[in-house]
């Protein structure tokens, strides 16, 4: 039974706040706040009434959403959920200026910005350090942000070349059985890198720069024996490198170059008995100056909301049944 004497908190909705944007479709945003805080929210004329135990938290979330709307940002379910999770940790999306940092613009003029505090820290590390490891689950923007930063560095004439590499672990020794020449055989394993390039530069621009060898998209094996000066070099899916491959890759770095290594240590596809070069690099290089390790988490996932829930479900399962990982 509801206590009618329970305290009510009143929040004024100012005229410069779009109510449709604040409430969400079918009041979806208010529903997310109610679900996460347990606070009931009622609309009364030009204000909201809050009732429940976590009034301060709910009020903080609503005021943060109003501030975001005032500066012209759009709200969606993903962003609202992220702001709620930050507030629960005592953090502020607005105070961290998450969306004010533009990395570059796509071929259609769309600004590319970090969407989470984790992504913003990742961008800052890439700007400041010569070698950065971006480690985190699927959907956290590790590769996409690295490619965007590489393109921005090239446009600003900070580098003369962009190298995108990936181990073709899944193919193993079976490449010879696939149709086509060697490039056609390995291209399917490099597709995520092409997708990021095409999305940012446009297919024609990306293809033109690739033809001029300004951009190279290559399997990791192609890196052996090279020294790369004035280049932005990205190694994607680095959890699938062996110890030897990781050392080989990192020592390709020449003068005026920047290296970004991305990977997800929960999705290692190496044959049984092979140690991941990414996991070893964490242990070996953690105290080396000018190398930074950035850890993105499930809260930084910027794909469908279900992706975050899937990652959480797997994490919880393997914490409960660690022996399952070894099977």
pLDDT in tens, 229-255: 999 999 999 999 999 999 999 999 999
Tens-place pLDDT, residues 44-83: 888 899 998 899 999 999 999 999 898 888 888 888 988 9
pLDDT at 281: 95
> In the prediction, which pLDDT does 292 show?
96
Structure confidence at residue 173 as a pLDDT band (50, 70, 90) = very low
- pTM for the full model? 0.80
CB atoms under 10 Å from CB of 315, counted, come to 13
DSSP 36: H
Model pLDDT, residue 132: 97
Of 137, 167, 82, 88, the closest CA to residue 318 belongs to: 137
**303-317: per-residue pLDDT in tens?**
766 777 787 788 778
Judge whether residue 1 has pLDDT over 50: no
Condensed to tens digits (0 to 9), the pLDDT of residues 78-103 reads 889 889 988 988 888 888 888 778 89
Q: Is 294 helix (H, G, I), strand (E, B) or coil?
A: strand
pLDDT for the residue numbered 172: 44
Instruction: State the pLDDT at residue 43.
Output: 87
* Res 164: pLDDT: 92
- For every residue of 214-271, DSSP letters joined together read SEEEEEGGGGTT--B-SEEEEE-SGGGSBHHHHHHHHTTB-TT-EEEEEE-TT---PP
More confident residue, 61 or 5: 61
CA distance 29 to 13: 15
Q: In the predicted model, what is the mean pLDDT of the chain?
A: 85
């Amino acid at each position: 039974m509801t206590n009618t004497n329970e305290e009510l908190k009143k929040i004024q909705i100012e005229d410069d706040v779009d109510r449709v944007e604040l409430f969400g479709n079918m009041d979806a945003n208010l529903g997310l706040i109610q679900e996460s805080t347990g606070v009931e929210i009622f609309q009364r004329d030009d204000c909201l009434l809050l009732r429940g135990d976590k009034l301060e938290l709910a009020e903080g979330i609503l005021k943060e959403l109003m501030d975001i709307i005032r500066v012209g940002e759009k709200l969606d379910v993903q962003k609202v959920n992220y702001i709620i999770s930050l507030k629960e940790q005592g953090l502020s999306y607005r105070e961290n200026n998450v969306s004010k940092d533009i990395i570059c613009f796509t071929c259609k003029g769309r600004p590319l910005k970090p969407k989470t505090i984790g992504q913003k820290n990742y961008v800052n590390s890439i700007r400041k350090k010569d070698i950065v490891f971006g480690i985190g689950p699927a959907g956290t923007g590790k590769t996409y942000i690295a490619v965007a930063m590489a393109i921005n560095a090239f446009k600003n004439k900070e580098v003369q070349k962009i190298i995108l590499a990936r181990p073709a672990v899944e193919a193993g020794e079976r490449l010879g059985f696939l149709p086509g020449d060697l490039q056609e055989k390995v291209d399917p394993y490099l597709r995520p890198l092409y997708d990021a390039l095409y999305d940012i530069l446009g297919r024609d621009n990306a293809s033109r720069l690739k033809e001029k060898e300004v951009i190279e998209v290559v399997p990791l094996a192609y890196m052996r024996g090279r020294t790369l000066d004035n280049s932005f070099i990205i190694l994607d899916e680095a959890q699938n490198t062996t110890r030897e491959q990781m050392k080989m890759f990192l020592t390709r770095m020449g003068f005026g170059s920047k290296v970004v290594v991305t990977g997800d240590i929960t999705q290692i596809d190496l044959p049984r008995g092979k140690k991941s070069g990414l996991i070893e690099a964490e242990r070996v290089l953690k105290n080396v100056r000018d190398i930074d390790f950035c850890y993105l988490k499930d809260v930084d996932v910027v794909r469908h909301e279900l992706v975050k829930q899937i990652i959480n479900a797997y994490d919880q399962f393997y914490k409960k049944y660690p022996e399952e990982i070894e099977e």
